[in-house]
Amino acid sequence: MAWFLCLCLFLAVGLALLALQLKLRASLRGPRELPSLPALPLIGSLLSLGSSHPPHVLFQELQKKYGETYSLMMGSHRVIIVNQHVHAKEVLLKKGKVFAGRPRTVTTDLLTRDAKDIAFGDYSPTWRFHRKIVHGALCMFGEGSASIEKIICQEAQSLCSTMSDVTEGGLALDLSPELTRAVTNVICSLCFNSSYSRGDPEFEMMLRYSQGIVDTVAKDSLVDIFPWLQIFPNAGLRLLKQCVSTRDSLLQKKYDEHRADYSDHVQRDLLDALLRAKRSAENNNNTEISAETVNLSDDHVLMTVGDIFGAGVETTSTVLKWAVAYLIHYPQVQKRIQEELDIKVGSDRSPQLSDRGSLPYLEATIRELLRIRPVAPLFIPHVALSNTSIGEFQVRKGTRVIINLWSIHHDEREWKNPQMFDPCRFLNSEGTAVVIPSPSFLPFGAGVRVCLGEALAKMEIFLFLSWILQRFTLSLPPGDSLPSLEGKFGVVLQPARFKVHATPRPGWDRHKSQAC
């Protein structure tokens, strides 16, 4: 018996020592290398990336072979693809500053005069100062200010009366330019204290150049991967240069007008606020802040306004277009929103921001839209500013990181039937309050580079949708097929164009009082 006990003890000690040794070896090995796609010199992993899928879907598919976080080579650049929320939050929040860099690419440099803006500009003291000013100006003129609600409601009213005009003649309408004009006018009021009416040639020009930019910029197109390809004729790059130059002359005109009648005493809009911050920094050149503002040039101000304008228009209008497409696909969702509006707002007045708390189903629908069709499925790539790690994987300084929001919002472990459009997943079991059922929901990003316009976007989406659905029922024109829900990949994921019928709801005719 004694010898048996001795043997057991001996075996137990042996096993414990073995386990200890294995653990020690693993910890000495340190962070692991990431699984990587095969790569060849010069072209990198290009051969493994040829696929008919758009990049966000391809990167999601590649998880099956390489795991959730893996790396690949784009030309000579190492890129890490993050497909799950824990690693995404490590990059954006926990190590936000380490990963706050941005890559320089041919197309974004053209758009932003060598990264002198906020979205594509690299992390630096000037960038931080710059972002702080814009954040302050946005707070003053946007989020939280009562006047912004008034501006949005004015635009909602004008949008609804255009819809009435068209539907009175029984015509089907492509809502896309109308929604874009409404959103553009909100940003125009905010930035330049001006707006466009229907058919304004300057607005039509803006629509064209902005679409050209969305189609060509920051898509990881070949010139961005292989900058030397610029020396060859390239139709995409030519289009981008034309569009950027049209945009720049428009921005310059607004800037010159503002400088001509600028006064220190009145701040009419965001551009005035930026001019003021720039001047006061220039006048205070012996304070600590001014050391950081040396580079806040005219170009910086112009490019920032370009960012706010471009981001404000393209993102919010895209969400609204997706909303219309989904409401046509899911009439039962549309009906439930209308029932909620009828009960909580009624038909004697228009919806206002203070109704948000009492319209949980509409709020849940907006969240579900942002989940199922994220505006920017790959965000803008980040760059590691020093050697670091993601989870157990080591990451070298200069590595690019792409966060695949598409995978994060369609992760089967986090979302039941992620392909299904189901606003109820964002409601509590009684259907009375909005909830966030999973941490795998990041429609506006997070951390140092979180979207600056989140609050403004949410106000606009809520007010435009509630105004439209209070007054109209949207449906497919007879004979048309349902709009595609696939989306066209670019710096934003846009739905294809389609027409709708907007039928006035009983009790809403165009002469009804439309007070906000």
Q: Which spans of this chain sit near ligand PLO (rule: CB under 6 A)?
A: 119, 210, 213-214, 217, 247, 306-307, 310-311, 314-315, 375-376, 380, 491-492
The minimum distance between CB 352 and ligand PLO, in angstroms, equals 28
The minimum distance between CB 274 and ligand PLO, in angstroms, equals 16
The minimum distance between CB 117 and ligand PLO, in angstroms, equals 7
What DSSP element (H or E) covers 79? Answer: strand 77-82
List the structure tokens of 286.
């012996």
The minimum distance between CB 243 and ligand PLO, in angstroms, equals 7
User: Which residues are paired to 290 by β-bridges?
Assistant: none
Residue placing its CB nearer to ligand PLO in the complex, 314 or 411: 314
Residue placing its CB nearer to ligand PLO in the complex, 172 or 313: 313
Residue nearest to ligand PLO (CB): 310
Q: In a 3-state reduction of DSSP, which class is residue 78? A: strand
Residue placing its CB nearer to ligand PLO in the complex, 209 or 426: 209
Asked if 63 and 407 count as a contact pair (C-beta separation under 8 A), the reply is: yes
Residue placing its CB nearer to ligand PLO in the complex, 310 or 487: 310
Closest of 236, 186, 187 to residue 213, by C-alpha: 236
Q: Which amino acid is at 98?
A: V
Q: Please state, as a whole number, how many other Cβ atoms lie within 10 Å of the Cβ of residue 469.
A: 22
The minimum distance between CB 445 and ligand PLO, in angstroms, equals 7
The minimum distance between CB 490 and ligand PLO, in angstroms, equals 8
- Residue 299 backbone dihedrals phi, psi, to 5 degrees: -60, -40
Asked if 350 and 516 count as a contact pair (C-beta separation under 8 A), the reply is: yes
The minimum distance between CB 123 and ligand PLO, in angstroms, equals 15
List the structure tokens of 181.
């004009």
Instruction: State how beta strands 388-390 and 69-74 pair.
Output: unpaired
Q: Between the CA atoms of 341, 343, 348 and 351, what dihedral angle is there, to the nearest 10 degrees?
A: -30
Q: From CA 502, how far away is CA 474, in angstroms rounded?
A: 5
Q: From CA 156, how far away is CA 466, in angstroms rounded?
A: 9
Residue placing its CB nearer to ligand PLO in the complex, 229 or 380: 380
Residue placing its CB nearer to ligand PLO in the complex, 244 or 427: 244
- Would residue 198 be called left, alpha or beta, if left means φ above 0 and alpha means ψ between -120 and 50 degrees? beta
Residue placing its CB nearer to ligand PLO in the complex, 183 or 217: 217
